Amino acid sequence: MNKRYHIVTYGCQMNVHDSERIAGMLSRLGYVSCDRIDDADIVVFNTCCIRENAENHAYGNIGMLKKLKAAKRDMIIAVGGCMPQQIGKADVLCKKFPYVDIIFGTHNLNRLEEYIKAKLGGKKRVVEIYGSEGEVTEGDIPLRTSYPNAWINITYGCNNFCSYCIVPYVRGRERSRRSENILAEARSLVAEGYRELTLLGQNVNSFVSPGDGMRFPELLEKLAGIDGKFRLRFMTSHPKDFSEELARAMASSGKICHCLHLPVQSGSDRILKAMNRKYTSGDYLKKIEILKKYLPDCAVTTDLIVGFPGETDEDFKATLELVKNVGFSSAFTFVYSPRKGTVAAEMPDKVPEEVCKERIIELVDLVNSQTRDVSAKYVGRTCEILCEAYDEKRGLYLGRDEYGRMGYFASDKNVIGEFVDISVKEANGISLMGELL
């Protein structure tokens, strides 16, 4: 019988895709995936450290494996990703979890296969973290798990050093892949039947292909030129780099979805400066205006942080104002979490937990009401959904429209991977209920 693996993924889409690369390595080693951790011969935790609670989740879940490992001594436990990549964290993990067999970081993920072989060969423990990023690696074959969507990394790392953020420290400097490799990957994915390609990077707008110097808007247009019916999405865009040229490129092809994730973080210019975001709320609103000039129907989503050091009631009100002004289609809201080693972690005037709680509740209320308003406008409309999955519990198929709204519907036949039209009967927060046409 084949040996089995189970991967637990935390964090962003970058990590989701990295887990597909890990799955590729494990399947080459002869492992097959299993749903239950208890059945696994190898468990890999692909971790995130963007906020304290992301780390706490991982700590809790790795901790729970102590008993299982005691009962199943041959089981291999590997912990990788952003968490161990933090300076000194691998030591902490080693001490806290003596039963973990393999610890690796973000820069040596492609070596996991060798680490597993070393472990199977009798090595007691493998702990290796690379201090810095190497060249972009090409050619590893991921085992994709999100059909009909396929993730394509176009850049790695980040150079922006927003003062609150750990990503530049754990993912290294920004590196772009070569345009020809991205185009070749996209062409073969479309040929294989993938219907949605999502380009990934911490800041896709600053993509510059080594070699031919191709920039993001041109890459997008070239990708949209690939034959076949498919959708193109990309994330994330940094407002400081969002250009009219990109808006124009987005409008140039029906394949590019009319939605943009443009994290604003705060509506207060003082806080944006302290965050090192390099734009003001006015600049942000201007970018939205440019976007809407080319794509009036474009859905805009965002990320928001409350409780950044020194955030006053007035600063917070400015965030609420900006949210009201833009009318986001949906938004992710976070309470600021100090990350060791970042500039903001050393800033004075921490906002008390109670105040953060009040602010996040007020912000979530506002964001939810906007989400509901946008969803309500769908009722009575027909929308094209790319069916992604079947929800066993509800007995319904689901998928998203080009604006990113999730639609649920009944169907007699399996339509996963197909574009279908539904007539929207009801809106429910972020999701739509419809009838297949």
Report the interface residues with ligand SF4, using CB under 6 A: 158, 160-162, 165, 167-168, 202-203, 238
Give how many residues touch ligand SAH by CB under 6 A.
17
- Beta carbons of 81 and 50 less than 8 angstroms apart: no
By rule CB under 6 A, what string of x and - marks binding of each residue 78-97 to ligand F3S? ----x---------------
Site for ligand F3S in 41-70 (CB under 6 A): 48-50
User: Using CA atoms, how far apart are residues 322 and 337, in angstroms rounded to an integer?
Assistant: 22
CA 300 to chain centre: 16
User: Using CA atoms, how far apart are residues 158 and 149, in angstroms rounded to an integer?
Assistant: 24
What is the signed CA dihedral for 269, 274, 276, 278, rounded to 10 degrees?
20
Q: Which is nearer to ligand F3S, 82 or 306 (CB)?
A: 82
234: phi then psi, degrees, rounded to nearest 5? -155, 150
DSSP state of 372: H
Q: Which is nearer to ligand F3S, 48 or 223 (CB)?
A: 48
Name the minimum Å distance from CB 337 to ligand F3S.
Answer: 11
Selected range binding ligand F3S among 12-20, 114-122, 291-299, 356-364, rule: CB under 6 A: 12-20
By rule CB under 6 A, what string of x and - marks binding of each residue 186-225 to ligand SAH? ----------------xx----------------------
The sign of the CA dihedral 259, 264, 266, 268 is negative
Residue with tokens 């933090």: 86
Name the minimum Å distance from CB 40 to ligand SF4.
Answer: 31
String of DSSP letters for 257-301: -SEEE---B-S-HHHHHHTT----HHHHHHHHHHHHHH-TT-EEE
Q: Which residue is nearest to ligand F3S (CB)?
A: 11
Selected range binding ligand F3S among 135-143, 162-170, 177-185, 252-260, rule: CB under 6 A: 162-170
Name the minimum Å distance from CB 71 to ligand SF4.
Answer: 40
Three-class SS state of 73: coil
The half-sphere exposure of 197 on its side-chain side, counting CA atoms within 13 A, is 26
Interface with ligand SAH includes 339 (CB under 6 A)? yes
Of 7, 14, 126, 367, the one binding ligand F3S by CB under 6 A = 14
Q: What are the structure tokens assigned to 176, written together?
A: 């772009």
Interface with ligand F3S includes 15 (CB under 6 A)? yes
Q: Which is nearer to ligand F3S, 176 or 281 (CB)?
A: 176
Name the minimum Å distance from CB 107 to ligand F3S.
Answer: 12
- Beta carbons of 290 and 247 less than 8 angstroms apart: yes
β-bridge partners, 128: 104
Could you list the residues that contact ligand SAH (CB under 6 A)?
A: 50-51, 164-165, 167, 202-203, 236, 238, 263, 265, 303, 305, 334, 336-337, 339
